[in-house]
Copies of this chain bind each other. A is one copy, B any other.
């Protein structure tokens, strides 16, 4: 068996609580240098490792936070998660990452699991079929911050990005190149980010007096196949778009690229593309992609700091929504339209 406080205490000949005090190392608790040293020596000798579980139970504080994201394989969330872990590590917090695969049932399960494990707080990019389960958590007074996707009518700390503006910038770029038939490859419909990106798309069209063509808005999910299928549909239209704004992220975009190649089209000669794309790989693709990328580390940082503040402040703090900019990176996947 692993040695406990009691074992260490017995080994030194003091009371367990004394050992505890030494190990907690509170400044103001006066302990004789002698016993202090003896205890530390015994700890080393016995190779004592404190039992975090017991401590958590006693202190009602687990130094654990939960992170719920759709899919950690997505470089967007991976980078955010990694940053949160890093910061957590610095502050002695462990983070438990949960992947929902955009399945709200799973999300609810994870939420309960995390609560059951007594996490000190939760960072979540929710599935957004509904919000009751999120509200429940907040009502339980468990610190929570939303990332990427918020519910506009609930008052909670959140970190988002300026989706609409990003797309408007992208469309503007295309219009200036001469494009008039710009399609929007969506991603999953009901998601906050996507709704806002779509809104930005529509607003930009309006601004440039371009008509909104329903068939030009396609896509139903965030997976490779979703992008592939949707783009095939797009490319089967009688009147092809000359440009695509891909708002569903890396996988969707790769799917789109595959479809485009399969149809024998060239990027950007036949069709231009601007994508929300967060991996390192964009410069190396067949045609280096012009992208909208996120400051993912910053998003992770803001989220973690908000959460930490909420965890550490006894009184409830004023909820804040932080908006992080995106970056427009011009590469080679956009050009003037042919016709």
Task: Verify B116–A51 contact, CB threshold 8 A.
Answer: yes
Task: Verify A53–B56 contact, CB threshold 8 A.
Answer: yes
The reply on A25 being an interface residue by CB < 8 A is no
Residues of chain B within 8 A (CB-CB) of A81 are 72
Instruction: Give A99 to B86 CA distance when docked, in angstroms.
Output: 9
Residues of chain B within 8 A (CB-CB) of A254 are 280-281, 284
Task: Verify A73–B82 contact, CB threshold 8 A.
Answer: yes
What is the distance, in angstroms, from A280's C-beta to the closest C-beta of chain B?
Answer: 6
The reply on A97 being an interface residue by CB < 8 A is yes
Residues of A in contact with B, size category = 35 or more
Q: Digit string of A244-270 for contact with B (CB within 8 Å is 1, else 0)?
A: 000000010010011000000000000
Instruction: Give A51 to B56 CA distance when docked, in angstroms.
Output: 11
Total identical chains: 2
The reply on A18 being an interface residue by CB < 8 A is no
Task: Verify B118–A53 contact, CB threshold 8 A.
Answer: yes
Q: List 24 A-B contacts (CB under 8 A).
A: A2-B115, A49-B112, A50-B116, A51-B57, A51-B116, A51-B118, A53-B57, A53-B117, A72-B72, A72-B78, A72-B81, A73-B75, A73-B78, A78-B78, A85-B99, A95-B96, A96-B96, A254-B284, A257-B284, A279-B279, A281-B281, A285-B285, A285-B286, A286-B288
CB within 8 Å of B: which residues of A? 2, 49-54, 56-57, 62, 71-73, 75, 78-79, 81-82, 85-86, 94-99, 112-113, 115-118, 140, 224, 251, 254, 257-258, 279-281, 283-286, 288
